[in-house]
Amino acid sequence: MIKIYLARHGETTWNAEGRIQGQSDPDLSPRGYRQSFILLEQIKERSLSAIYTSSLQRSILTALPVAQHFGLPIQRRSELNEIAFGILEGRLLQVDGEAQIEWERFKNDRLSYRIPGAENYHDVAQRLKPFLTNILSHHQGQEILIVGHRVVNQLLIGMLLNYPMEIVLRIEQANDLLYLVQVNGETRIFHYMDGEIREGVVMGGRSVIP
């Protein structure tokens, strides 16, 4: 069996402002730094063998307290970087009409539409597949932590559990929500919510077993 703990980075200064991030690299907000220690509290009693993050600082900083606790190196992988949002990065949808139009085009066809200078979901899935294959072959019998991003984590969950894309697009992960994927013949997913471990994914703010 392999146990994969899948965390999203803590809140960033841009999350707090409502700015589109993509592969831009803002710092964690004060709340985000607190969330990095919440992550540590959730898994400090586990037996982690490896920690993987994207190459973006919000992912690395979120993993840092866990890495220091376990004495493990942070393995930075650019494959885990968030989807690139091209010309929309740094912009505020609420006050930017042009950005709103591009965002709606993307939302209506996330698999194939590319915002100028950006990626779509298919592009991100293609770069994640070799990483996931490597993880599953090299960490059998171990527990590992991956600190990623919203779209990246949606796709990782979808690939691990063979979910159809209509489910993948509905998976939610707040900045302080931790998933656990167990791969042992069959694959099961759990999440930490309100101090409890529940089976399934979060959709519409509640636990769902697709």
User: Domain limits of the chain?
Assistant: 2-83+120-208
pLDDT in tens, the chain (210 residues): 999 999 999 999 999 999 999 999 999 999 999 999 999 999 999 999 999 999 999 999 999 999 999 999 999 999 999 999 999 999 998 889 999 999 999 999 999 999 999 999 999 999 999 999 999 999 999 999 999 999 999 999 999 999 999 999 999 999 999 999 999 889 999 999 878 899 999 999 899 998
d(Cα 51, Cα 185) in Å, to the nearest integer? 23
Residue 106 has what pLDDT?
96
d(Cα 178, Cα 172) in Å, to the nearest integer? 11
Residue 194 has what pLDDT?
77
Q: What is the CA radius of gyration of the chain?
A: 16
Four-point Cα dihedral 123, 124, 125, 128, nearest 10: 130
Residue 81 has what pLDDT?
98
> What are the helix (H) ranges across the chain?
13-17, 30-43, 57-70, 97-108, 121-138, 150-161, 165-168
Catalytic residues, which ones?
9, 82
CATH code reported for the domain at 2-83+120-208: 3.40.50.1240
Single pTM value for the model = 0.96
